[in-house]
Copies of this chain bind each other. A is one copy, B any other.
Amino acid sequence: MENSDKERIKQLVKARKKAHSFYSKRSKVYQSFVDMEQNTYRDGKLSKKQKELIAIGISVVINCESCMEWHIKQALNDGATRDEIIESVEVGIEMSGGPGTVSARFAMNVLEYYNPG
């Protein structure tokens, strides 16, 4: 794995933390977004893991690198395997064609970073 790829992931994590602190203090809109997020990603009729996998597919389609980093890490924490995550990425590729294969590269890096295998 390239150092520049590792650096990119570390930067995303740092930026999320800093901005979370910044907006939590200043923005009621952000606070209610956080509520919405917590209401979304918890066990319901679908498990939290299944919801994280849905979010991975979405993140691939919209090419949101920070979203891929977060939801792949969450899915791994919730017990998702590499293959399950790759299959979620595949749905994203089917739903976005060539640009989805570009997103899939970043998803691969995130997998290698959190789950070197």
Contact = CB atoms under 8 A, between A and B. Distances in A.
Interface string A8-36: 00010011101100110011111111011
Contacts of A104: 19, 23, 30
Contacts of A19: 101, 104-105, 108
B83 A45 contact: yes
Interface string A33-50: 101110111001110001
A79 interface: no
A67 B95 contact: yes
Copies of this polypeptide in the complex: 6
Interface residues of A, number: 66
A73 interface: no
Interface of A: 2, 4-5, 11, 14-16, 18-19, 22-23, 26-33, 35-37, 39-41, 44-46, 50-51, 53-59, 61-64, 66-67, 81, 83-84, 86-88, 90-102, 104-105, 108-109
